[in-house]
Amino acid sequence: MKIAIGNDHRGVDTKRRLFELIQQLGHQVEDVGAQAGDAVDYPDIAADVARRISSSQMDRGILICGSGVGMAITANKFPNVRAAVCRDDNTAELCRQHNDVNVLCLSASEQEQVQSERIVEIWLTTPFEGGRHARRVEKIAKFEQQNGLR
């Protein structure tokens, strides 16, 4: 799987750890995030990753900022992107199974960094269940189209 990973200045350390994990899991990963602690605007990073997902250049994306929320809001402005903030194993698993989430948004806070590796591993290995969930994801795509996002 091809994965784009992006982060703002707060997510540099988390990104580096996750980059190695993703490679160890056998995926191709492309770093499009900040490389140092100098302040950057998270919407620019989120848009870069979301464009790659929207255009099918990459299969999935991971975004890291202070809370993950701003990244998710930005990424969800792009067609065919389903971004969600995950802070625990259950959310990581269900967002894949039920929503086919293709952009994982994480917090760079110290207390959540410990869980981030486990969350990423669950998110990368959990398949979309399809079935009744596919019908719902298709409805989301129709809303995108009706609102000019496609």
Q: Which residues participate in catalysis according to the annotation?
A: 65, 98
For 147, counting Cβ atoms within 10 Å of its Cβ (0-12 exposed, 13-18 middle, 19+ buried), the class is exposed
Handedness of CA 41, 105, 113, 110 (dihedral sign): positive
How many CA atoms are closer than 13 Å to the CA of 132, on its beta-carbon side?
0
> How far is residue 109's CA from residue 55's CA, in Å, rounded to a whole number?
30
